Amino acid sequence: MPEIFLDSKKTNIIWAIVFGLLLTAFGGCNKTPAKVSTIGVIAFTNSNSMVREGFKAGMAELGYVEGKNIRYIYALIPEDNDQIIDSKTRELLSQDLDLIFATGKLALKAKELAKGDMPILFAGDAFPVESGLVKNLKRPGGNITGVKIADSISKALEWLVTIANGAKKIYLPYDPDDPMATMELPGLNKAAEQLGIELVIQKVYSIEEAVAAIENLSEDIDAVFMIPSRTINPRNIELSRAAIKRGIPTGAPVKLDEDVLVILTSDFFDIGKKTARLAQQILRGAKPSDLPVETADTLLTINLKTAEKIGLTIPDDILAQATTVIR
């Protein structure tokens, strides 16, 4: 067989081709997505921004760099107004999007208005089945899935009872016109029955009415439990300070203000990061209907400053179980 000799010029050309092919091959192994994906983000302006921050941080960790291979289009809604929500959602859906990321009740509006197979991710809904977002948690169905808030409200009440030295009678103000608040009551009544305590549930329609109620609570009330409320929460610190003046412990299933004694709440940054992992799967071709709804982790916060103000001593073994202790 005759020997084949290549001149140096031809050899260089061949090596250049081989080197180019190798670069292409190894470049294809890069995990960072090359396609620019567009995500529409819809949230209330004054809502917990930790969810959005967690989502973007999670996406960045997964290789989605803003301005390179990921683009976010925001629809931030200034108030809980149905007309504004409808308008902003329609405007966002008119964009060329790969998926929608929505927080709270806004995901339900996105689901209602989205056409075709537009994937939707919800973040932070406590009752996604009851609210109609998904059919069930394991097989959501439709074009939506996401991360739910941990069912921590009953456990938060239990922690308040424990920390308040076995409180037996607990005052709970709520706005009957707030569907978020009324949805929590059946579970709380059941939890109270299991704990052997009495919940004194009162309808309030303003922050002033709620503060006045705490200022005039009967002496047999051992603690105050506060639930999410569009009416009360923006000025919730006024309730907490009224309770401190009365020397009454307070608890909540969500961080409402800096003076609540005990809070057991979901990790909202973690909610965002969990949602980012679902987003990656969808952008790679997974269907939301096949991705089970995930549940956020919980965080226990105990405020020793508030405990000192009301003259309450909290044992070290309880403090050791807290994620955060405010001193």
Q: In what order do the strands lie in the sheet with 120-125?
A: 70-77, 37-44, 99-103, 120-125, 144-148, 294-295
Fold for 37-149+267-297, please state it: Rossmann fold (3.40.50)
Q: Which residues of the chain have pLDDT under 70?
A: 1-34, 48
Q: What is the DSSP letter of 29?
A: T
Q: Regarding the domain with residue range 153-252, which homologous superfamily does it belong to in the CATH classification?
A: Response regulator (3.40.50.2300)
Number of Cβ within a 10 Å radius of residue 215 = 11
- Residue 285 region by backbone torsions, left for phi larger than 0, else alpha for psi between -120 and 50, else beta: left
Residue whose tokens read 């149905």? 82
Q: Contact 152/265 with Cβ under 8 angstroms? A: yes
pLDDT digits (tens, 9 = 90+) for 9-41: 444 444 444 444 444 444 444 454 468 999 999
pLDDT of residue 24: 43
Q: What is the pLDDT of residue 149?
A: 86
Angle at CA of residue 34, ends 30 and 36, nearest 5°: 150
Say if CB 224 and CB 216 are below 8 A apart. Answer: no
Domain residue extents for the chain: 37-149+267-297, 153-252
User: Strand 198-203 to strand 169-174: parallel, antiparallel, or no bridges (unpaired)?
Assistant: parallel
Domains 37-149+267-297 and 153-252 in one fold: yes
Q: What is the model's pLDDT at position 109? A: 92
Rounded CA gap, 206 and 197, in Å?
A: 26
Return the pLDDT at 184.
83
Q: Which conformational region is residue 151 in: left (phi greater than 0), alpha (psi within -120 to 50 degrees), or beta? A: beta
The pLDDT score that the predictor gives to residue 131 is 85
For 111-142, what is the HEC assignment? HHHCCCCCCEEEEEECCCCCCCCCCCCCCCCC
Give the model's pLDDT for residue 246: 96
Strand pairing of 298-303 and 262-266?
Answer: antiparallel
pTM of the model: 0.74
At 231 the pLDDT is: 81
pLDDT of 101 reads 97
